[in-house]
Structure 1
Amino acid sequence: MFAVFKHARKAALAAVTAVSTLALVACDTLPTGSGPTINTSKPVPVALLVPRGSAQAGDALLAQSLENAARLAIADLNGVQIDLRIYDTAGNPQQAATAATTAINDGARVILGPVYAEAANAAGLAAAQRNVNVLAFSNNTAIAGGNVFILGPTFDNTARRLAGYAARQGKGNMVIVSGSDPAGQAGRVAIERAAAVTGANVAGAVSYELSQQGVINAIPTIRSSVGSSGAQSVFLTANTAGALPLLTQLMPEAGVDPAVTQYIGLTRWDIPSQTLSLPGVQGGWF
């Protein structure tokens, strides 16, 4: 299980990748790809869209980590001066679109972020009207294309790594537990694809509605699927801001013992750090 301190390193890597990409494509003449002309003889205005101001626990820390990482990455660049400006999105698509428009009006030539797929998509649509590229930290490849580029670890990459590891550890016979929302279903498909190429096996799949009652209603089905299939693991698409805390509380109570059935997560389980104390998260792979 990854520790909380690894989050800053993950954010730093994403920011370094984004800013390094900017340094590589920046030039004094019109580039062959999309996006505005960038004059590197002067500081390049770059907007960083972060989820500060949202109601989700951990987003304030994520926003600050991304800002710190971006500034560290910029300090290591040679030959390109960056004028970094920070814009808060509250993790909200509408506010992300507004922030992107404001940033471009302020002179931004490139947008870094947002983090969440819907917000990144909204920012991309707003920026496309002004021919500005968005280098998002999202892991959802469905929003990539046109002026939106994805820099985050994708569901497919994460699923392949974890499914392959599970197979090698003798935990490859798995039940997928996914939300009924687009992100949950995209995660389920990614896990199914990963199982097909890693030697893992999907023994069952259970979907739940995104509500407290929806999760509660799914618990007996999860328990039954694990028991009847002889599954060695459950692979969850939920995140800490959604159903994960309730699932990892109720599943052990229902008899899906994490000491016997390995819990695996497609998303980060260590933000906020309190999540690590949940019974089903302790010892989990993510």
Structure 2
Amino acid sequence: MAEVAPWSQGTKPATAATVEPPQVPARPTTAPLPPPPPLPVPEPVVVAPRPVAKTETRAALLVPLSGPQAAVGQALANAAQLALFEIADSRFRLLPLDTRGTAEGAAQAMAQALSQEADIVLGPVFSFEVKAVTPQAQEHRLPVLAFSTDRTIAGGGIYALGYLPGPQVARVIGFARSQGRWHVAVLARADDYGRAVAESAREAAAAQGADLVAVEYYDPAQPDFASAVRRLAAARTAQRPIDAVLIADDGPRLRSLAGLVTSEFGAGAAPRLLGTLLWDDIRLRAEPSLAGGWYPAPPAASHEAFEQRYVKAFGPMPANVPALLAGIAYDSTALAALLARQGKGDYSPAALQSPVGFLGAGGLFRLTPAGLAERGLAIREITPQGAREIAPAPDTF
């Protein structure tokens, strides 16, 4: 506010009579000015919403919930739910998505997983499904814990959690070597599985100081395997006897091959028979030619405990669903839930590939940088009363 000056001394204010009226200028005769242009309306200011921090970790479970493999998918979903109940906290969410058991269905389920902001993918089951989801997973850097036994799908953030033949072969040959069975031969199917077994046997023998005397292949579609067994027996010498034969097969072919080996070598000189997880069949306990055979398997205590908990929660597992496969679904979900609790959903390679490993339905396991599952396996021996565990699984890697 302007300051009013005080009156000066000796001066009086002017009276109304002496004040001259102001001269009012005449109005202009020109045309009025046009109104000013309207002020520009400012653009609305858009305030971007602040990002909302995720309050939960999401795992997409890709399994066939419809189609011919629906029973398998439902059993795997049940096993995953069991792990969810036992391991997860409220911040972990499982998203079951239907692959329909096809490559196209798996790709669509993967797209759904991405749209629902999944942090990790559990499954799919079949190798062709895994190959169908791999491009999307790798593009978005989403880790996949597949239930496949196909090692060719592994790598680049894709993990094969299935029980691969390599570690099984290495475990049983190593055990045979520890029991004085140095000279090993292999009877393998002439297919991808048989060739993988044979190559694993070569690697295991070289690494563990065993002598791989011979590898013989046979056509699994032919009914007679006698010629392959004869060739195998002919490969032995006095310096290189065969005291263990690995037969990587199951069912009627395994029974036939085991009987032929016993007959060709003679009952008194028959080598110890070795197998893979294909031997984990309750029906084999009645086969005399397999009595005393050794094969690798998950530790009985942990796997049987898982099966009992499954039956209590969901009833008997379908006959066409291998319990080992359901255990893999449990293990993958338990791993994802555990990391969600411990590391707030950290599924980086460093977290997934913890060198100490994890404990699951199948015992101790860990994921390798190559994308494979390394497992601690026990050794079982076939007896007329059933398979019994004769060598425990390791407690640590």
TM range (shorter): 0.5 to 0.7
The aligned counterpart of 2:93 is 81
- 1:252 counterpart SS class: helix
Q: Is 1:234 aligned to residue 240 of structure 2?
A: no
- Please state how far the C-alpha of 1:88 moved relative to its aligned partner: 5.9
**1:125 is matched by which residue type in structure 2?**
K
Distance 1:151 1:159, change over 3 A: same
Structure 1 residues not aligned, in runs of 5+:
1-27, 30-38, 55-59, 90-94
- Please state how far the C-alpha of 1:281 moved relative to its aligned partner: 3.2
Q: Is 1:168 aligned to residue 178 of structure 2?
A: yes
The aligned counterpart of 2:209 is 199
CA distance, structure 2, for counterparts of residue 258 and residue 105 of structure 1: 61
Between Structure 1 and Structure 2, how many residues are aligned?
Answer: 232
**1:182 is matched by which residue type in structure 2?**
D
* Structure of higher CA gyration radius: 2
CA distance, structure 1, for counterparts of residue 105 and residue 264 of structure 2: 44
Normalized per residue, the structure richer in helix is 1
Q: Superposed, which structure 2 residues align to 1:102-251 within 5 Å?
A: 102-107=108-113, 109=118, 110-114=120-124, 119-120=126-127, 122-131=128-137, 133-213=143-223, 215-225=225-235, 229-240=240-251, 243-251=253-261
Q: Under a length normalisation based on structure 1, what TM-score does the superposition of the two structures give?
A: 0.66
CA distance, structure 1, for counterparts of residue 77 and residue 179 of structure 2: 37
Distance 1:126 1:63, change over 3 A: closer
**2:288 is matched by which residue type in structure 1?**
P
**1:277 is matched by which residue type in structure 2?**
A
CA distance, structure 2, for counterparts of residue 71 and residue 257 of structure 1: 50
CA distance, structure 1, for counterparts of residue 110 and residue 59 of structure 2: 12
Q: CA-to-partner distance for each residue in 1:65-93, whole Å, 9 max, x for gaps?
A: 6444322212212331212346564xxxx
CA distance, structure 2, for counterparts of residue 64 and residue 222 of structure 1: 44
The aligned counterpart of 1:47 is 62
The aligned counterpart of 2:288 is 279
Identity %: 24
The aligned counterpart of 1:9 is none
The aligned counterpart of 2:4 is none
Q: CA-to-partner distance for each residue in 1:135-167, whole Å, 9 max, x for gaps?
A: 223344333123531223433322222111101
CA distance, structure 2, for counterparts of residue 174 and residue 258 of structure 1: 18
Alignment check: 8 A CA contact 2:60 2:95 kept? yes
Alignment check: 8 A CA contact 1:258 1:280 kept? no
Alignment check: 8 A CA contact 1:175 1:225 kept? no
Pairwise CA RMSD: 3.5
CA distance, structure 1, for counterparts of residue 179 and residue 76 of structure 2: 34
CA distance, structure 2, for counterparts of residue 64 and residue 284 of structure 1: 34
Alignment check: 8 A CA contact 2:188 2:217 kept? yes
- Please state how far the C-alpha of 1:209 moved relative to its aligned partner: 1.9
- Please state how far the C-alpha of 1:198 moved relative to its aligned partner: 1.3
Structure 2 residues not aligned, in runs of 5+:
1-51, 296-397
Q: Under a length normalisation based on structure 2, what TM-score does the superposition of the two structures give?
A: 0.49
The aligned counterpart of 1:8 is none
**1:137 is matched by which residue type in structure 2?**
F
- Please state how far the C-alpha of 1:185 moved relative to its aligned partner: 1.0
